[in-house]
Structure 1
Amino acid sequence: MTTDTHSAIEAVWRIEAARVIAGVARLVGDVGLAEELAQDALLAALEQWPAEGVPRNPGAWLMTTAKRRAIDQIRRRERFEARMPDLLQPDTVDGEFDAVGEDTIEDDLLRLIFTACHPVLTSESRVALTLRVLGGLSTDEIARAFLVPGATVGQRISRAKKTLADAKVPFELPDAVARAERLASVLEVIYLIFNEGYSATAGDDWMRPALCEEAMRLGRILAGLMPAEAEVHGLVALMEIQASRSAARTGPAGEPIVLLEQDRGRWDRLLIRRGLAALDKAEELSRPSSSSGLGGGTYTLQAAIAACHARAATAADTDWHRIAALYAELPPSPIVELNRAVAVAMADGPAAGLAVLDPLRTDASLRNYHLLPTVRADFLLKLGRHDEARAEFERAAAMTRNERERTMLLDRAAAL
C-alpha cells in the first residue's frame, strides 16, 4: 500500500467513521455491532483501494459496504424476514450515500451522540465510547491521551457496549423532554474531553491539544445538528475562547503560564472571533434568567466569563466586577465559589477574595483539590503574608498529579 493511499484512508475514516457507524446502527440497533461492521468496511477499503484506487465518493463506499455486511448479519438471524421491508429501502441498501437525505444523516448522528453519552453509562465509559465511535480514535490513542493502559480503555468501551445492550437502550432520538435532560450528559462528556486536554490532570504535559481539538470538533458537529439549542453554542463558545490561549499557556520548556501573565499577543484571534460569534448566538437564543440580565445556561455564562478575558487587551483592562457577577449567576458549587473568590480579589483586593475563599477550607469536596491552596497562596502573597503563602504553595504541590504544575508550585514556594 502506498503512503498516499494509506493516508487517504486514514483521513476518510476519521471524517466518515461516525456517519458510517450511525447509519449502520440505525439498521442493527446496536452500537457495538455497528462499530464492528464499520470496521469491517474499513478493512475492505484497506484491501481494495490500494489496487482499485480511492473511490469517487469514499464515504458512500464505506457506508454501502458496511450496510451490506449488516444485511448479511441480519439474514443469519431468525428475525430477518420480519425486518426485510425496512432493510430493502433504497436509501439503506444499494443507494448511493450521497442520495440519502441530509436530515437522515443528521438524525443518525444525533442518535449516535445521545446513545454514546447515555446516562446509564459511567462518565469514564461515556468519554471513551464517544471518542471511539464519534471521534474515530483508536483504543491506543484514547489510552495515550488519558495516560491509562490500553487494556483499561478497551475494557471501558467493551463494558459500555455491553451495558447499552443489556439495558436495551434503543438507538433512537429521545423525545423532547428526555432530549433536554440528556443533552446535559452529552455536553458534559464533550467538556470533560476538552478539559482533560486543556489542563491535564496527571502526567508530564500541561496540555494535550489533540483532545481539545477533538472536543471542539464534536461540539461544532453538535451545534450543526442542534442549531436551536443555546447551551450547545455556549459550550462551543467556551471551548473556542479557552483554546485561543493555548499557545500562550506554556513557556519554552513546557512550563505553565497563568492567565494573568500570558502574552495576549499569542492568543489565537480567529478562535476568539469564532468563540464570540458562538456566544452571540447562545445569548440570542437564551432568555435572561435573572433580574441582572446576565442570564443563560451554565456553559453560556462560563463563555461570557471567558469573553471578558478575550476582549481585554491587557489583564489590567479586564472587567473583574462583571466576571464576579457572572460567577454569582452560575449554579452554586464549591468550584464556582472558588473562581468567584479570584474575581472578587481582582476587583476589590486580596482581602476581599480571602473572605470569600476561607469558608471553602472546610468543604470536604475540596479537601484534596490543589487549586484551593494555590489560590489562597496567591492571596496571602499579595497581602505580604509570605510564610503562610509558602506553606500553601507547598501543600498545593503535594496534591497535584501533574508534574509541570508541581514544579511551578514548588518554584513559587522556593522563591519565598
Structure 2
Amino acid sequence: MPVPLHRDARATAERLAVWFGARLADATDVVVSGLDVPTGAGFTNETLMIRLTWWDAQGAARTHALILRMAPTRYQVHPDSRFAAQVRLQRILAADTDLPVPPVLWHEEDPSVLGAPFMIMERVDGRIPADVPSYHRSGWVAGLAPSKRRALWLAGTDILARLHALDAAVLGLDFLPAGGSRSYLLRQLNHYESHFTFYAPHEPPAARHALAWLHAHQPPESGPARLLWGDARLGNLIFRGLSPAAVLDWDMAETGPPESDVAWFLHLDRHLSEGIGVPRLAGLPGRAETIRHYEGRTGTRLRHLDYYEVFAAFRFCLITARVTALLGTHGSLPPGTDVPLHRNATRLLEKVLDERTQAPSTASAR
C-alpha cells in the first residue's frame, strides 16, 4: 500500500529542478516532471516516480527516469527511522554483490530541500506482484500459467538464499543491528514490547498473547547471523519476465537468523491469500516445498521456523494496526471507509498461534 501523494507536485518539481541543476555538470534548462506514486510502492517511505530532463554541454537533450524515496515523516510506521542506514546498505549491495539492488545515485541529507532527507535511485522497469488487490485475487500473477507462477515463487526464494549467503562482515555491515538468533530475538521482542502502544494504542489481546508466547518459547541459538532483508516478500520484487530485476525496501534490514526472513516471506503470502479469504493460486509452491528449495540452495537447515512464523504474524499484526491508524489520522481514506487490513492480520495471528499451541512440539523446524 503506497503512501499517497499529499505534497504540491508543481512546487516539488520546481525545487527538485533547482537541486538537480546544482548537481548536473554543465546542465541547462533542467526540468522535473511526471511526479507520481509507483504502483506497488510500500507504506514506510514516500516514494515518487520522476522524469528528469536537461540539455547537456553539447546542446543535446537528455532524459532520465528515476525514483525518489524520502525518509518517513507524516506516515511513520516505525518509531525509529533508519533511512541513512538504508541508503548506505543499498549502495553497498548494489556495488559489491550480485543482488539486483537499484543503484542510489544521490543521497540528500538536508531536510530543508523537500522536508525530509531523500535518495534518488535508478528506475527499474518491470512488474511487481500487487498487495492491493492481492496478486492471488487478480492481476498479472493470477494470469500466469501455474508452471510460471511456480518459477516466479522459486525465483523469489532464490533471492533469499543469495542474500543469506552474503558475508556481512566482509561487506562492512557493522552499522546494522547485529547478533545471533538469541540477541536478535531479545532486541526485536524488547523493541515491540517497549513500543507496543505506538503500533497499536488499542492493545489487541491477540498480539499481547503472542508476545507472551514468544517470550516463553524462545528457541536456542541456531547458527550464525546473516544479513536479513526484513520485509522479504514477492511484493518487494520487480520482475522482468519471471526473473527478479530489482530487490526493494531495505528499511527493516538487519542481521540475524535467516529463519526470520523465510517466515516473513511465507506469512505475507499467507496473509494475501488465506488471510483475506482468497484461495491461494495454483502452482505456487507450498510451505514444505519452499523450505526444501531454500535448504537445497543454501545447504543449511531452517530451524525453529514455526516459532519465527508466530513472530512474523505478531509483527505484522502490530504493523497493520499502525498503518490503519495512520490512514485514519491523516485522512487518506474517505470517512467511514472500512479497512480490513488489521482485522485480517489479527485473525491470522490468532490462527497461527493456535496452530503452534496445539502442535505436539514448538521446537521443531517443520
TM over 0.5: no
**TM-score category (smaller protein):** under 0.3
The structure carrying a bigger helix percent of its residues is: 1
Q: TM-score, normalised by structure 2?
A: 0.27
Q: TM-score, normalised by structure 1?
A: 0.24
The structure carrying a bigger strand percent of its residues is: 2
